[in-house]
Structure 1
Amino acid sequence: MSKTDPGNYFEDFRLGQVLVHATPRTVTAGDVALYTALYGTRFALFSSEAFAKDCGFPHAAVDPLIAFHIVFGKTVPDISLNAVANLGYAEGRFHKLLTDGMTLSAKSEVIGLKENSNRKTGVVYVRTTGMDEFGETVLSYVRWVMVRKRDQNVEISEQFVPALEEAVAPDQLIVPAGLDFSAYDYALAGAPHAFEDYAIGEKIDHVDGMAIEEAEHAMATRLWQNTAKVHFNQFERAKDPSGRRLVYGGVVISTAKALSFNGLQNAGLILAINGGRHVSPYFAGGTVFAWSEVLDKADLGSVGALRLRLVATVDRPCGDFPGKDEAGAYADGVILDFDYWAAVPKRG
């Protein structure tokens, strides 16, 4: 009997199934340094320990997206090793501030299954929870992924598509313990814009573009221990019409979030992921651009929160804010549509 694990195919999943993912991983300063090198992030809260302490934290703050990537990577061998594509996210909440030295582990529950009409693939919905070494929840989110069937003739008896919330409600947002923007240094952060300066419906072109090279996306994906074949196995990808390895969608998310610094310098701290969709596959070499729209605002007392829609495009500057047309179809070049809540300082 083989000791190797080929990963789960669509017919291997069951509603209610709980998957405990292997290999806990400890966050280190090395992760933070590599994250900066790979994506070019510049948010002061995650760049300076002194700045983080002035914002009420006892130590350096670590970008929540690092927790997202690490936990996501844990899930791949069990959920998406045989994936065609990761499709989207919803109901994501960051429960606890990520810190250097924290050890993350993950588990997932299968909450939905839907076979595709071609009978070659199906969509698996899972709710994933990332925990620290004490078993306390650090983040949780739902994602859905298209997975190949081992045998397209196998009948799938149990199918269910879960109803998911459009957005995390403001009263469900968790402000990290200790966060205090009363002494926020706007000059060091890079811009004077506070909660009061953003209007619902406002769109911001982040102007800058960044190309992602083959070596960079491979290193980034290995960093998070993501083993999905579509990112690494050129022999497998040769069977696809594109013939190219897909860039892990999280690389696009973090690149677009880093680009959003220009215009959202004070909105680096993500509190929740409302939804996200990888609209089109992205292949290395294309230049990524991004724009944001303010969808909503919430006063959380000590801080403000902006609900932001982050749209990324490839080889298409965002001056015309490409998104969806009246029929709901995405414009050419759109690769990411990402909806999240971010904490921002208030003047009042």
Structure 2
Amino acid sequence: MAEIFVLAEHREGELREITFEMLGAAKYLGKDMGATITAVLLGHDVDTYAEKLGSYADTVLVVDDPKLDYFNAEIYQKVLSKLISDKNPVVTLIGHTAFGMDLAPALAVELGLPLATDCIGLEVDGGKLFAIRQIYSGKVNAKVSFKGDRYMITIRSAAFPVEEGTLSGEIVKESVAIEDVPYRKFIGYEEAPAGEVDITQADVIVSIGRAIGDPENIPMVEELAEALGGVLACSRPVVDKNWLPKDRQVGSSGKIVKPKLYLALGISGAFQHVAGMKDSGLIVAINKDPKAPIFNVADYGIVNDLFKVVPVLKEKITELKG
């Protein structure tokens, strides 16, 4: 039976969210292709990860070795090359992350596999696999096909929802001889400076656009974000004006987010921004322009001046919280 490989990504003691997003994509792809799902887990002392992955895959293929304690693209490539050559999966899914893009291109070249990167969708049409990826800065979605019958794909973060784990996958341990890579060593993780916020991990995001008008107005929105238990983010014009740092930008040239609540204040809804937040659980937009594109993706919309609405929202939220 055909097999789909999903490379599990983990760091600093946690399986990354992209892993479960890819397993969700593989679940539906497997139904269309008549394929089983195999989560490939490389690491050291990763039994806990394997057990968790077993709920999302038919098989969890584990290579446990001290040399895999930390990610090293060269070592991962050697191990994955052996596994893929031996198992011959029809599709190998890897996250389109710093981790994945350090690994996937060289691995694809070594194995002679076609590679589609930064994909936001997967389809099977007439028995043939197609990948959906954005081109021209997100203005166009391209449906691309592959040569051959074996493929490698990197998946954009937040492109697929996380499915509930209902399987009881078999955990299989594989032994692969691993040689040292003398020219490339893991030194350590460089953490973000204290006080910085990772907006991709937030459940609630309050985002501002150019309509905020002046950096002196930002604290008002920060207070609303705090009242909601969320974080402050923005669209590109706010970063271009140096009102907020780049790591707060949502969009195709910023960060992809999918919080439970996304509150867009004074954001017109250019496609570059929408690409970064369209998969949020609940989208609420506030804009004076009733024709603003942001309302096309919003679940709820308020056509009004944000400077009139934000204080009232903050007051009501504070009142409800007692």
TM range (shorter): under 0.3
Q: TM-score, normalization: structure 1?
A: 0.24
Between the two structures, name the one with larger relative contact order (CA 8 Å, sep ≥ 6): 1
Q: Which protein has the bigger helix share?
A: 2
Q: TM-score, normalization: structure 2?
A: 0.25
